[in-house]
Chain A
Amino acid sequence: MNNKSNSLNRRSFLHGTGLALALPWFETFASARPEVDQTPKRFVSVYHPDGVGLPLKSDPAWKDWSWFPRGGEKDFELTKVLDVLEPLRSDITIYSGLSHPASRQVHGHSNADQYLTGAATGGHGPYKNSISLDQVYAEHAGDLTRHASLVMSTNGGVGGPRGAQTQSFNREGRPIPAMNKPKQIFDMLFVTSSKDAAARLARSKSALDLLIENTKSLGRQLSGHDQETLKQYLDAVRDTEVKLAKAQRWIDTPIPEVDTRNLHLDAEPKEARLYFQTMYELIYLSFLSDSTRVATFQLGRENGEGPHDLLSQAVGLGGAHGLTHDVKSPNGWQNLGTYNRYQAEEFGRFAQRLKDTPEPTGKGNMLDNTLAMHGSASSSFHLSRNYPIITAGGANFGFTNGRYLKFGKGNEDNQAGAGIVTDAGWQGKVDVEELPLAKLFVTILQRLGVETDSFAGDTGTLSGI
């Protein structure tokens, strides 16, 4: 059968998508800037809450179910948790000894908010976040594609302060709502009624002008406090204006046709395997079609709740969050490890797919031009240290893979905080030294082409990457 996207389109989904429509491979645009290398540099971050399993060496489970590899930089040995990545060994780098200093004393449940931002989001009191790594890059590369970034999570929306359901935060530190329905993401990326898009765009501009005027006049009749609330609305309208200006440039290019064979657009988080694969495939297709070069994907939310807790059903386990608590139950470490292994497996499948696809511009494969990061903001049991991080790809912009990189001092065997099975873990005293994760972020940004030497207040790069 004809499996192209357009044969699946349903009129009811077409209405109104015109606003943001515009297209990749904008030749005239690209040729207008001949100095720009047309090979895209891409960045994707996948976040999983709740951390990983770190049993003590003395525990029989240590050998197989400790997340971090054993051994040195090149001769490292993957445990059962990550052995699914063995085929990609030469394309990945595993890090230990990195964390965000501002949150080291914060309970892991609050930490999804700051994984990509490094902000002192804290555990109580007033809340303020800052721009996330992906959005810094999106500010730089977002204009080159139809969508500045693709923000996804299993739970969708923004969540709440210290309970983020999105990994992406804008310049003002405001959360960017994540999309969680494959169908909706697909439609945003690949379905369009572009014929009247230009006219629509012009009409939108007039409508936004009116709305801004209308909002201002309402604002004058509100209290100072309420004006602050209304400002958020006004910002939303202005952000939309910016989007319109951008869409204008892409308006005449045809929509890319993509192969939809691996998509199950009705998949829901409870069908975790199908859902994960579809979400990853959507990132893959958006990259392949150069619809965007930046993506984030959050698998669940910290501290369970909602669809997230259903994800571990993919490996026959109940309650994803509970797995971190139940490590002392029979097979506890194995169960948590099995769930983490499954996350690594899906990430590996995605990386492999990029690797198997030649770069459309001819320069290597897609993985070489993509830095795919996978990690969590806690290691052992809510401990906000020693983030378990893997990156894959990026060979064409400076990443030398096939390595296990240990940073900091005093925790070469990852035993600091290991074996913790109490909620106190996050407050426990840890005497080892770790380096700021922001240094890795600076390295990443520089290699992606962003001129910066600091992130979240920390200056400098990570040496030896």
Chain B
Amino acid sequence: MKILTFNILLVFICFDTILAADEHTAITLQQAKEVGRAKSRFLKAADVETKAIDAIPTANVAYHAESVAAILNKSCLACHGPEHSEGRLRVDELNPDLLTGPDVERWREVYNVLSNSVMPPEDESDYALADTDRGNIVDWLSDELNKASLVRRNTKEHSSFRRLTKYEYNYALQDLLGLPYALANRLPPETASEDGFKNSSDLLQMSAMQFETYREIGLQALKRATVSGERPESVTYIISTQEEMEKLTGKDPAKTFDTNDDSNSKQRNQQHLFNRETSQGIQFSGGKAKPQPDAVVGQTPAVSPVVLVLPRNKELKLDLDRFLPDEGIMRVRIRAGRSTMNPDEYASLRLIFSAHTSNNANFSQTISERDIPVTASSDNPEFIHFDIPLSDIQRNPFRKLTTTFPRRDEFLHIRNVSNAGAGEERLNVLIDYIEISAPFYEQWPPKTHTDIFFASNNKGDEEVYGREVLNRFLRRVWRRPVTADEVDQFMGLFAKYRPEFSTFEDAMLEVLATALATPEFLYLTQRTTTEATEGPARISDVEFASRLSVFLWSSIPDDELLQLAEQGTLRNPEVLVAQVERMLADPRSKRFPQNFVQQWLGMDGLDSVTHITDESLKEAMQQEPVAFFDEVLRHNHSIMDFIHSDYAVVNERLAAHYGIRNVYGPQFRKVSIEPQTNRGGLLTGAAVLAMNSDGKDSHPLKRGVWMLERIIHDPPPPPPPNVPEVDLTDPEILKMTLKERIADHRNKAACVSCHSRIDPWGIAFENYDAMGKHRTHINNKPVDATSELFNKQTLAGMDGLKRYLLTDRQDQFARAMVHKMTAYALGRPLAFGDRADIDSLTGQFFRNGDGLGDLVHLIINSDIFNSK
């Protein structure tokens, strides 16, 4: 085995020599992927895969004594020995027993610098390490580290037992109760782990205040999901364009204009009512709407010849006065169509809510979660609707005043958000009917209510029906079958509460709220088992179902998943594949890219950035990496696409920012890009570049650190003591370019060791400014984005960086990706002891072709994901 690996290393070295010549630039990045893949350690060495071990492994100390020690002494001792001990490392004092000795972490550092050819420094020719020697040590260390990892895995306790994160709790509650609203905002924010993950078991705390908040949120959510008594009267407003026109023209006929007359183009470009039969128009931007007591909601009147014309960025502002109820859903139904059907243009509607709270002040906020596209033609307009929870939006706090100042009314704006051009045939939204109704119920009682208080023949018997309700509810809440004893316990509580409430439902809600505060809802549990197993104990089927759904849905399992788990068939290979596919096809799976990418890449950083003032741009930036990940995931593209892709996933706003043509509309989609676009992959995403800037210019250090931490998972050490700050009052320093300044700083002895590991990565990003725009010049000087890594590898800007990662660091990136996703999937930090599992997973993953979708399946099927 030793000889086999040795040969592989020779191959590795050959490739390196070839690439050391100028061929680097001769191949495309796509070809670089092939070249780099061919080099993979994981691909070649089938034996890297960890096999179940029969005997307890022992340390190979002998090989250290006969060979390793001498080589290390020759090449490393001068700097890491008794004379100098740089990095506080002495190679002569490292305990060669990695399995029981205390120096495993130091050995891992040695392994890293040797395997990445970072050490010994290339300019120290006296201490050069022969390739064969390097190979031998790396080989030995790899074996020893793997053995040590296995040993630890079987001795050290890990735990994925943890509280749900704030966002998981929110989704769990939403899915459990069928409420699509943000429910958990009041919980304190989570702290991210060193890896950036917020679902890390060791950081998820619990306090009395938090506990109380859970109880309150639970009860509130249950009350929102259920109803009592008769269906409440709704307040309904109906705006018929026909009637509005009649009113307006009747009042002031002189104000009408002929829409065919081009001298009226100014009026035509404003929002106005338009009679399609007479071509007559009249200005109309809103006005007071009155509730109609006898209105019937949900009607579909005949299409009217009179329509409201909403051009791009124009809105209808309706004064709804002070009659909207405090709570419940406001449904806004709008029948709308497009005036033209050019597929490159889009139009959508957005709802905005506002009030004038004093003479000089007002507030307004977008209340629709997303803009809804108008797709029908104006000849066959279609209804679109918005459901707005009135208790969740900023209301006019003065609406209940008995006096009329400050103003009590509330305004609803319907806005056309569009990319329509200014040509002859303008794309406008034409609306002929608007219905606003609150509180709105699809059915009575609503489904959220009947899901809890379902129809049953035993409804008359509170004892029996109570048990039925509890049984069903607790099973969903706890994600497992419930025992009669457990139901008894909650029935006991119900018995205590019942006399205080007038209805069965009200008393039961309090009991159900208590269930929502139980640890088995708030935590992901893993029970101990008594049955003896070999190796780490497996989690049960129902625990697996929860772990799986939290991974892919950030939430609790649905009924189907739970049922399969209870039957014990969920983990049958064909069932599991089908279930994972089903889960990924479910809209809930959107949460996986959203949350994973957010945390993996540290996207929170963009929130504290203040230099991006265009909100739609910022939002697009934020969404891009998520959409990109989604594309790679759903099409099982290679994860190397994260390093570079010949496509981008953009919407119109971001495409404009990147200079990509012919992308229209707010939705993200995959588009092919040319090399001169200077995009592709995650590294050149505007969000990453902008959040790793200082608000005015690029920040190579931040970008370098980000690259090391997030992408190749090689976090730099914390800054050492005695680092002098760059003195910006020194005129000599002020004259320098940024790169020169960094070089000046780095040349100081105290800084060189860290910065030479970080800066070159960041300098390679210099062709991108603080907005993430590509640039070739800074202050009229050409951008110099070439840098040299610690191992003397030259990176020629972003292209060079990508090229290097793809040809020489695929293994490292793949392993980083597997590591990050596994840590997220398990909800716990990975320790040294998980190394063997991660290596083995990475090996399988690489051999299978490195598709992101495959990785998800692989992790779900892995031992580590199935173990406690």
Hey, which bits of chain A sit against chain B, CB under 8 A?
1, 7-8, 10-12, 15-17, 19-20, 156-160, 163, 174-177, 184, 199, 203, 206-207, 210-211, 213-215, 218, 221-223, 225-226, 229-230, 232-233, 235-237, 239-240, 243, 266, 305-307, 309-310, 318-319, 325-326, 328-330, 332, 421-424, 427
Contact = CB atoms under 8 A, between A and B. Distances in A.
Nearest to A219: B519
Contacts of B217: 16
B216 interface: yes
A222 B525 contact: yes
B657 to A, nearest CB: 23
B722 interface: yes
B725 A421 contact: yes
B725 A422 contact: yes
B646 to A, nearest CB: 36
Contacts of B70: none
Interface string B229-252: 000000000000000000000000
B517 A211 contact: yes
Contacts of A218: 519-520, 525
Interface in B729-772: 729
A16 B203 contact: no
Contacts of A199: 500
Interface string B604-620: 00001010000000000
A10 B390 CA distance: 12
Nearest to B326: A11
B526 A226 contact: yes
Contacts of A225: 157, 159, 161
B723 A424 contact: yes
A1 to B, nearest CB: 7
B490 A210 contact: yes
B125 interface: no
A1 B358 CA distance: 13
Given A210-B493, A222-B527, A309-B608, 10 more contacts: A15-B223, A176-B207, A203-B500, A218-B520, A218-B525, A226-B161, A229-B161, A230-B519, A243-B208, A328-B727
Contacts of B526: 222-223, 226
Contacts of A332: 729
A1 B514 contact: no
Contact of A328 (B161, B201, B728): B728
Contact of B719 (A7, A175, A423): A423
Contact of A229 (B162, B188, B400, B729): B162
B220 interface: yes
10 contacts: A15-B219, A16-B216, A158-B188, A206-B497, A236-B206, A237-B208, A307-B608, A309-B608, A427-B721, A427-B722
A149 B209 CA distance: 12
A159 B207 CA distance: 13
A157 B189 contact: yes
A227 to B, nearest CB: 9
Interface of B: 157, 159, 161-163, 186, 188-191, 201, 203, 205-212, 215-217, 219-220, 223, 326-327, 391, 394-395, 397-398, 400-401, 403, 406, 489-490, 492-493, 496-497, 500, 510, 513-514, 517-520, 522-523, 525-528, 608, 610, 695, 719, 721-725, 727-729, 868
Nearest to A266: B394
A236 B157 contact: no
B514 A211 contact: yes
B536 to A, nearest CB: 12
A157 B157 contact: no
Given A328-B727, A330-B728, A230 B523 contact: yes
B188 A11 contact: no
Among B216, B219, B395, B517: residue with most chain A CB under 10 A: B517
A160 B401 CA distance: 44
A187 to B, nearest CB: 10
B725 A20 contact: no
B223 to A, nearest CB: 7
A422 to B, nearest CB: 5
A244 B438 CA distance: 38
B179 to A, nearest CB: 14
A273 to B, nearest CB: 16
Contact of B210 (A177, A210, A223, A325): A177
A334 B14 CA distance: 59
A51 to B, nearest CB: 15
A328 B725 contact: yes
A229 B159 contact: yes
B388 to A, nearest CB: 14
Given A12-B327, A210-B489, A233-B522, A20 B500 contact: no
B676 to A, nearest CB: 35
A203 B725 contact: no
Contacts of B489: 210, 213-214
Contacts of B723: 422-424
Given A16-B215, A177-B188, A223 B159 contact: yes
A341 to B, nearest CB: 22
A233 B206 contact: yes
Contacts of B395: 10
A312 B220 CA distance: 37
A213 B514 CA distance: 12
Contacts of A307: 608
Contacts of B518: 211, 214-215
A114 B162 CA distance: 27
Contact of A422 (B190, B398, B724): B724
B251 to A, nearest CB: 35
B207 A177 contact: yes
B405 to A, nearest CB: 8
Contact of A305 (B159, B208, B608): B608
B731 to A, nearest CB: 11
B724 A424 contact: yes
B547 to A, nearest CB: 14
B721 A163 contact: no
A106 to B, nearest CB: 12
Given A157-B191, A177-B209, A233-B523, A223 B157 contact: yes
A240 B188 contact: no
A380 B671 CA distance: 52
A222 B159 CA distance: 11
Contacts of B401: 1
Nearest to B406: A1
Given A218-B525, A423-B725, A232 B206 contact: yes
Nearest to B218: A16
Contact of A214 (B212, B496, B519): B519
Contact of B188 (A1, A157, A422): A157
A265 to B, nearest CB: 10
A16 B219 contact: yes
A211 B218 CA distance: 14
- Report which residue of B203, B209, B391, B528 has the largest number of chain A beta carbons within 10 angstroms of its beta carbon: B209
Contact of A158 (B207, B212, B522): B207
Most buried by A among B326, B610, B719: B610
A211 B518 CA distance: 6
B161 A318 contact: no
Contact of B220 (A16, A207, A213, A424): A16
Contact of A184 (B186, B493, B510, B527): B186
Contacts of A157: 188-191
B535 to A, nearest CB: 16
Contacts of A233: 163, 206, 211, 519, 522-523
Nearest to A151: B209
Contacts of A230: 161, 519, 523
Nearest to A156: B188
Contacts of B212: 19-20, 240, 243
Contacts of B159: 223, 225-226, 229
Nearest to A17: B216
A232 B514 CA distance: 18
Contacts of B513: 207
Contacts of B157: 223, 225
A243 B729 CA distance: 56
